[in-house]
Amino acid sequence: MAIKMNLMSEKEALRVKALLQKYALPINYVIEDVKAFYEAFFLDKKSSDSAITFILPLGIGDVVITDKVDTGTIMCVLNKFGKNK
């Protein structure tokens, strides 16, 4: 999502991915039901009735906390992880 929102570069994301792989941490995730997954965000304590709070990287070692992510952006990113992508 940080890449989609131009908060983090693709180059930095690839660097993070390489680090995760180096330590045998998971880098792939498949969402069975994207809509249900999205709705589950609202069960989290960091969510309100209409906004989801995300902690997004700005680069290595820096983040931003925001609830200003529109539903279209969220769904676009989630769909990339959907089972039927």
Residues (pLDDT < 70) of the chain are: 44-49, 85
Q: Are 69 and 54 in contact (CB under 8 A)?
A: yes
pLDDT at 43: 77
Q: What is the pLDDT of residue 59?
A: 84
Q: What's the pTM value of the predicted model, to 2 decimals?
A: 0.79
* Cβ atoms of residues 2 and 66 within 8 Å: no
Q: What is the pLDDT of residue 49?
A: 61
pLDDT at 26: 92
